[in-house]
Amino acid sequence: MGVNILAIESSCDETAAAVVEDGRKVKSNIIYSQIELHKLYGGVVPEIASRKHVEKVNQVIRAAIKEAGISWDDIDAVAVTYGPGLVGALLVGVSAAKAIAYAKKKPLVGVHHIEGHIAANYIENPDLKPPYMCMVASGGHSHLVHVLDYNKYEIVGRTRDDAAGEAFDKVARAIGLGYPGGPKIDKLSKEGNPHAIEFPRAHMEDSYDFSFSGLKSAVLNYLNGCQMKGIEVNNADVAASFQKAVIDVLVDNSINAAKAHSCKSVALAGGVASNSSLREAMRKACEENGFAFYNPSPIFCTDNAAMIGVAGYHEYMAGTRHGWDLNAEPNLPMKSI
């Protein structure tokens, strides 16, 4: 048997545990999604998320061990997301990981959530090796990361305001689609015309940074304008045109950054990376520009613990060990060279 990592993820509204062998082989991947619960409120309610994590965390961990077909003794280390994320939610996973590591005398390895999202790409792509350019777009983050090695990163672009997923969620709410907005806009867009409405694309001069708040305001202004003029809104056209504006910027910045850093490969990561049109647009742009393109399956794009197990493996192999004082860090910065 290789190196088995038990991984735990509870940074937002998924309570998840997984067992990953040698940083690539997912032996189990258990996800309890709280989406149904938070839907009622139109977004994640932190206190409710924490309480649900407390209720579910031991169940998903036990299920992950069982499904992997291993015993507690077969685990080499316990990896856990300790930031960034909701502090109360993170604390549940961190406390559970500490308790198991202490009781079973296993090393404890804290993992950065975004490093986990990036590492999801290794699960199904055995040929993917650093260096490469990775576009991480999730509900809380939009980072363009030059992955120099398995745990060596250079952040070359970031959002200056809203994250891409946040923009999806806000626009979805404005057109009455509910939470979480990303998958709903993805679906509705297929019935709309992406060229129907000209929404702005923010391109930052001399930088690969992003900004989505102007786009979000433009969509809200458009909707208000239609309402005032009594014009019926075609929601599918709004969804498709908004989505196209986000995708254009994500793709342009990724390709330009990959060229500037002489990368041979481009990867996508994070919840928004499960967007079907984004995957298609990035694949096409990579093909046209001669880059190999990588993308995790949707189940490994949105929050899961398998990705934490992969990132945790590389941290473990690099000698990272955390003490019993490991704390949840809601604003944990990503280490960048």
Please report, as ranges, the residues that interact with ligand KG4 according to CB under 6 A.
12, 138-140, 165, 168-169, 180-183, 186, 270-272, 274-275, 302-303
Contact 121, 269 (CB under 8 A): yes
Q: Pick what 9 binds: ligand KG4, Zn ion, none; C-beta below 5 to 8 Å, kind-dependent.
A: none
Q: Pick what 186 binds: Zn ion, ligand KG4, none; C-beta below 5 to 8 Å, kind-dependent.
A: ligand KG4
Between 237 and 303, whose beta carbon lies closer to Zn ion?
A: 303
Is 162 an interacting residue with respect to Zn ion (CB under 5 A)?
no
Between 23 and 182, whose beta carbon lies closer to ligand KG4?
A: 182
- Look at the alpha carbons of 281, 285, 288, 292 in this order and tell me if their dihedral is positive or negative: negative
Measured CA to CA, the distance from residue 234 to residue 236 in angstroms comes to: 6
Contact 272, 182 (CB under 8 A): yes
Nearest Cα neighbor of 34 from 84, 98, 92 is 92
Nearest approach in angstroms of CB 108 to Zn ion is: 21
Part of the chain binding Zn ion (CB under 5 A), chosen from 136-144, 198-206, 208-216, 285-293: 136-144
Measured CA to CA, the distance from residue 197 to residue 271 in angstroms comes to: 25
Nearest approach in angstroms of CB 311 to Zn ion is: 12
Amino acid at 163: A
Is 166 an interacting residue with respect to Zn ion (CB under 5 A)?
no
For 14, the 3-state DSSP assignment is strand
Nearest approach in angstroms of CB 165 to ligand KG4 is: 3
- Angstrom CA distances, 38 to 34, 45, 111, 165, 169, stand at 7, 6, 25, 16, 13
Nearest approach in angstroms of CB 136 to Zn ion is: 9
Q: Pick what 81 binds: Zn ion, ligand KG4, none; C-beta below 5 to 8 Å, kind-dependent.
A: none
Is 115 an interacting residue with respect to Zn ion (CB under 5 A)?
no
For residue 291, give both structure tokens. 């880059």
Using CB under 5 A as the criterion, which residues of the chain lie in contact with Zn ion when the complex forms? 138, 303
